[in-house]
């Protein structure tokens, strides 16, 4: 079965997201833990969470993906920015335990001129402060496109972070198709080769989720502009190969394309039609 969903607004709670997902043919979803450009988070509604668990079990939703706000930068040169990242992620991970056993994705950060080695050490240091043996949430490092001073533009940089983290069993990777293509990994013409490289450097056992996004930019552009499936430089045929690849087809896929709900519904329908049962 294809596990496919998209990014949904969390403003009306978990039950609303679950029902919205089902209405567009999805069986999973992604959401921001709080305002993606700010720090405020709504209080957890216990009744909403309990009802969500009931509905998710009935409708076959087995995993969801939370996304940290974009403002979180654990390797900033500014101490206050790093402290914000620490407090925000700590609160997010605490809140995630209301929906145990799910995924939490974040961008590894930008070193802003300090150098990638410093950025890698800072991001790993934050994870060492926050990850706990008892948490049920798996924290995912997202593959990045490589614009500016982003950390995570290569599999080697992600592996370097993981290698410095003590509780490695709490860590995974979310592969973003737009980002890796823009970073120079040719998932269109050499998907097998890219996955083999990922396995050699990071290990495919750490790949826990995939962001399905076409790219507005050409290969290896080191930019980050998502496009609708089949309307960018990656192309619809490549997405058929991705969702059906034997090493990937069992993973949850999340759309972050520039769409409204009707557009997401159309993309989910398209991907289901391409999925080989």
Render pLDDT for 131-156 as a digit per residue (tens, 0 to 9).
999 999 999 999 999 999 999 999 99
Question: How many C-alpha atoms does 113 have within 13 Å on its Cβ side?
Answer: 2
Return contacts of 34-39, CB within 8 angstroms, 24+ apart: 34/69, 34/88, 34/92, 35/69, 36/67, 36/69, 36/70, 36/71, 37/69, 37/70, 37/71, 38/69, 38/71, 39/69, 39/71, 39/84, 39/88
Give percent of the chain above pLDDT 70: 100
- The residue annotated as part of the active site, out of 92, 224, 264, 267, is 224
Among 70, 129, 200, 237, the active-site one is 70
Q: What class, spelled out in words, does domain 3-274 have in CATH?
A: alpha beta
Is the confidence at residue 205, as pLDDT, over 90? yes
How is 121-136 classified by DSSP, letter by letter? HHHHHHHHHH--TT--
7 has catalytic annotation: no
Which of these is catalytic: 7, 111, 206, 211? 211
User: Given a cut of 90, is residue 277 above it in pLDDT?
Assistant: no
Residue 123, both tokens? 């991001």
157 counts as catalytic: no
pLDDT at 241 over 90: yes
Where is 207: in which H helix or E strand?
Answer: strand 207-212
Tell me, yes or no, if 53 is annotated catalytic.
no
pLDDT above 70: residue 272: yes
To the query of whether residue 153 is one of the catalytic residues in this protein, the response is no
Q: What is the pLDDT of residues 12-31, one digit of tens each?
A: 999 999 999 999 999 999 99
pLDDT digits (tens, 9 = 90+) for 94-132: 999 999 999 999 999 999 999 999 999 999 999 999 999
Supply the mean pLDDT for the chain. Answer: 97
Is 111 an active-site residue?
Answer: no
Percent of the chain with pLDDT strictly greater than 90: 96
Spatial distance between the Cα atoms of 226 and 176, rounded to a whole number of angstroms: 10
Tell me if residue 206 is catalytic: no
> In which band, very low, low, confident or very high, does the pLDDT at 242 lie, cut at 50, 70 and 90?
very high
Question: Domain residue spans in the chain?
Answer: 3-274
Q: How far apart are CA 24 and CA 99, in angstroms?
A: 22
Token couple for 175? 């592969």
Q: Which of 7, 18, 34, 67 is catalytic?
A: 67
- Model confidence at 38, pLDDT cuts 50, 70, 90, reads low
Catalytic residue among 18, 92, 157, 176: 176
Q: Is 211 a catalytic residue?
A: yes
Alpha-helical regions (H) of 32-186: 46-59, 79-96, 116-130, 155-164, 177-183
């Amino acid at each position: 079965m294809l596990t496919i969903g998209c990014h949904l607004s969390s403003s009306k709670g978990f039950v609303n997201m679950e029902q919205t997902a089902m209405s567009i043919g999805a069986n999973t979803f992604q959401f921001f833990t709080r305002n993606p450009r700010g720090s405020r988070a709504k209080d957890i509604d216990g009744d909403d969470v309990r009802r969500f668990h009931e509905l998710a079990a009935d409708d076959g939703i087995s995993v969801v993906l939370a996304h940290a706000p974009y403002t979180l930068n654990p390797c900033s040169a500014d101490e206050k920015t790093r402290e914000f990242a620490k407090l925000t992620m700590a609160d997010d991970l605490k809140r995630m335990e209301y929906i145990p056993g799910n995924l939490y994705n974040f961008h590894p950060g930008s070193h802003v001129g300090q150098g990638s080695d410093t950025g890698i050490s800072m991001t790993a240091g934050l994870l060492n402060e926050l990850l706990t043996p008892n948490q049920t949430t798996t924290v995912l490092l997202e593959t990045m496109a490589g614009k500016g001073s982003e950390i995570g533009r290569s599999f080697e940089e992600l592996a370097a972070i993981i290698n410095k983290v003590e509780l490695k069993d709490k860590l995974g990777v979310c592969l973003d198709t737009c980002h890796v293509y823009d970073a120079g990994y040719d998932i269109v013409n050499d998907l097998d080769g890219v996955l083999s490289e990922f396995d050699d450097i990071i290990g495919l056992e750490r790949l826990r989720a995939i962001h399905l996004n076409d790219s507005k930019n050409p290969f290896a552009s080191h930019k980050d502009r998502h496009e609708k499936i089949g309307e960018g430089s990656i192309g619809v045929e490549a997405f058929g190969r991705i969702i059906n690849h034997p090493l990937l087809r069992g993973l949850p896929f999340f759309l972050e394309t520039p769409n409204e709900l009707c557009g997401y519904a159309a993309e989910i329908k398209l991907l289901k039609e391409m999925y080989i049962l």
